[in-house]
Amino acid sequence: MPRNDSGAAIVDFVLVGALLTLVFVGIVQLGLVLHVRNTLIDAAAEGARYAAFADRTPDDGAARARDLIRASLSPRFAENVRAGNADFDGVRTVEVTVSAPLPVIGLLGPSGFLTVRGHGVEEPP
């Protein structure tokens, strides 16, 4: 008795297509998170270097980091930026800390906050 496999190709296509779609969305999600993380690290470091100038304050560095984040990403990523003086192995530095939500596509991906820090060595007055 011969078997009828007329619908097997459609089922195979749907199963493989769904798996490939999930892998693709996961790769896009990972790329988006890494892009946001790298942008926030760069903005925090630039803000710390800017605040470390002799004629600047930590608040100037926080404002610079906020401006860079708003120009590169959404303004919601620049809502929690702090700056202050820190001591790093006996060296006075300015530390800019940025806390931002993780970008999530739909309901997939991790939730929570991403916190990055940038440091700049203070120039003497």
The one-digit pLDDT tens for each residue of the chain (125 residues) are 567 766 778 888 899 999 999 899 889 888 888 999 999 999 999 999 999 998 999 999 999 999 999 999 989 999 999 999 998 888 999 999 999 988 777 655 567 889 999 999 998 87
pTM listed for this prediction? 0.82
Q: Which of 63, 58, 42, 34 is nearest to 117 (CA)?
A: 42
H-only helix segments in 1-125: 8-51, 58-72
Largest CA distance in the chain: 94
Q: What is the pLDDT of residue 26?
A: 85
